[in-house]
């Protein structure tokens, strides 16, 4: 049950509204929006929130590598890495990435495999592939200079409204709003917006609010500050309202609804799945070198982890046993997989699946009447070669297991 003072504030009179405030009131009244407070239609309220937020940000902002030299390229790389990933995780990857690809031209000239190798462990590998593709577009169409118009930026692969706004506001001072996970939560609480932030009407309202909140000077600082306060104080659970510089202006704080706002997004319903990976070692009679080699392939478009390398693995369905899984993969590979001893098991999550991955040593043999050959695009590779191929986290753990086994043998 809502508190007795849960009604949105209605103390904004037309006499105290500026011309821009009147425009916001008119927009609010002409658009169907979730229940929320009217506070944000007052320029005085907006100015007060900006002052409190920016003052706090000046004192409390984190020292992050992309903030010390906010060129479009550096901001772009950081924003792509930060999608779905914590800042603490990104920092090390960012330094390594920028050391190897200090310019757009350097990134464009690199192979996709090099780029993915630097992304290994960050997940969501489509981000890296889009980043690489966009760098090549910039070289080809913009003389290797990051474009500065919103229309040109949002046309690049992997860049949407939020990312374009973040890059151009932070690096170029353009007055463009942003809306992502942290700011959705912060803005919803500031205006006391009920309902899930992913609803179409809620998203429309929050973008309008984000635009109205932008100062005429240094809009990038405001955008960064809004994201920062969401990460550090206005957390999803147990927000630090006592330490918040704008708590006195926050509608959710006034109503005691911090725990209910923003409205809950429908939770992902995970499906349990058992998958199998097979470590297939090249037979000495088929090998031309002394070192042990293992069967892997470059994953094609349209499958999980496209662009990375992986061992033979079932990913399309769950299997009850290694024998059935091996039989299911045999037709795809063009030879028979003969599962052997179980090496290990791993538990991990991919999208909506909670996966129990069973890893088995395996033998191989041609189908009756066939001669043996390595089917394309598969190849045998040594552990040293595998170390230089980009892989998923679970794939890399399999390599580590092989290395440990080799060192003990």
Contacts of residue 140, Cβ cutoff 8 Å, sequence gap at least 6? none
Of the candidates 40, 307, 355, 353, the one whose C-alpha atom is nearest the C-alpha of residue 191 is: 40
User: Would you state the structure tokens that stand for residue 342, as one six-digit string?
Assistant: 């179980």
Kind plus residue range of the DSSP H or E element containing 18: none
Task: Assess whether the previous peptide bond of 377 is cis (omega < 30° from 0).
Answer: yes
Please give the distance of CA 289 from its chain centroid, rounded to a whole number. 41
Please give the biggest Cα pair distance in the chain. Answer: 91
- Residue 96, SS3 per DSSP: helix
Tell me, yes or no, if 341 is annotated catalytic: no
Whether residue 347 contacts residue 356, with contact meaning beta carbons closer than 8 Å, is answered with yes
Half-sphere exposure at residue 220, Cβ-oriented, CA atoms within 13 angstroms: 16
Cβ–Cβ under 8 Å, residues 336 and 375: no
Compute φ and ψ for 364, nearest 5 degrees: -140, 155
Beta bridge pairs of residue 338: 363
Beta-ladder partners of 153: none
354 three-state secondary structure? strand
Distance of CA 270 to the CA centre of its chain: 19
Is there a cis peptide before residue 195, judged by omega within 30 degrees of 0?
A: no
- Residue among 32, 60, 79, 114 flagged as catalytic: 79
- Please give the backbone phi and psi of residue 234, each rounded to the nearest 5 degrees, phi first: -85, 65
Range list of H helices, 149-283: 150-154, 161-172, 181-190, 200-213, 219-232, 251-255
DSSP strand pairing (271-280 vs 353-365): parallel
Task: Give the burial string for 139-157 (b: 16+ CB within 10 Å, else e).
Answer: beeeebebbeebebbbebe
Q: Which residues lie across from 356 on neighbouring strands?
A: 274, 347
* Residues labelled catalytic: 79
């Amino acid at each position: 049950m809502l508190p007795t003072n849960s009604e949105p504030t209605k103390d904004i009179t037309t006499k105290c509204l500026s011309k821009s405030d009147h425009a916001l009131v008119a927009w609010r009244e002409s658009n169907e929006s979730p229940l929320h407070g009217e506070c944000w239609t007052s320029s005085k309220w907006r100015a007060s929130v900006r002052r409190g937020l920016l003052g706090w940000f000046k004192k409390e902002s984190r020292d992050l590598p992309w903030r010390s030299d906010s060129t479009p390229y550096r901001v772009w790389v950081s924003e792509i890495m930060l999608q779905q990933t914590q800042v603490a995780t990104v920092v090390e990857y960012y330094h390594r990435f920028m050391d190897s690809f200090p310019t757009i031209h350097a990134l464009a000239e690199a192979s996709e495999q090099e780029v993915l190798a630097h992304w290994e462990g960050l997940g969501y590998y489509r981000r890296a592939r889009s980043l690489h593709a966009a760098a090549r577009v910039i070289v080809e169409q913009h003389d290797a200079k990051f474009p500065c118009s919103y229309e040109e930026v949002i046309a690049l692969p992997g860049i949407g409204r939020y990312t374009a706004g973040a890059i151009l506001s932070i690096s170029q001072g353009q007055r463009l709003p942003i809306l992502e996970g942290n700011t959705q939560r912060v803005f919803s609480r500031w205006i006391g917006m009920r309902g899930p932030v992913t609803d179409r009407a809620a998203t429309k309202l929050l973008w309008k609010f984000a635009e109205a909140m932008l100062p005429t000077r240094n809009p990038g600082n405001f955008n960064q500050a809004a994201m920062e306060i969401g990460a550090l104080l206005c957390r999803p659970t147990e927000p630090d309202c006592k330490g918040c510089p704008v708590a006195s202006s926050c509608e959710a704080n006034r109503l005691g609804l911090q725990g209910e706002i923003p409205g809950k997004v429908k939770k992902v319903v995970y499906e349990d799945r058992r998958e199998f990976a097979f470590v297939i070692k090249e037979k000495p009679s088929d090998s031309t070198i002394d070192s042990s080699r293992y069967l892997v392939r470059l994953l094609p478009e349209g499958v999980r982890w496209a662009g990375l390398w992986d061992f033979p693995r079932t990913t399309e369905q769950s299997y009850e046993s290694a024998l059935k899984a091996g039989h299911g993969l045999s037709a795809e590979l063009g030879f028979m997989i003969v599962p052997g001893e179980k090496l290990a098991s791993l538990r991990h999550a991919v999208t909506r699946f909670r996966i129990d991955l069973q890893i088995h040593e395996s033998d191989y043999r041609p189908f009756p009447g066939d001669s043996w050959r390595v089917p394309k695009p598969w190849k045998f590779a040594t552990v040293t070669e595998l170390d230089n191929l980009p892989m998923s986290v679970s794939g890399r753990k399999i390599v580590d297991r092989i290395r440990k086994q080799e060192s003990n043998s």
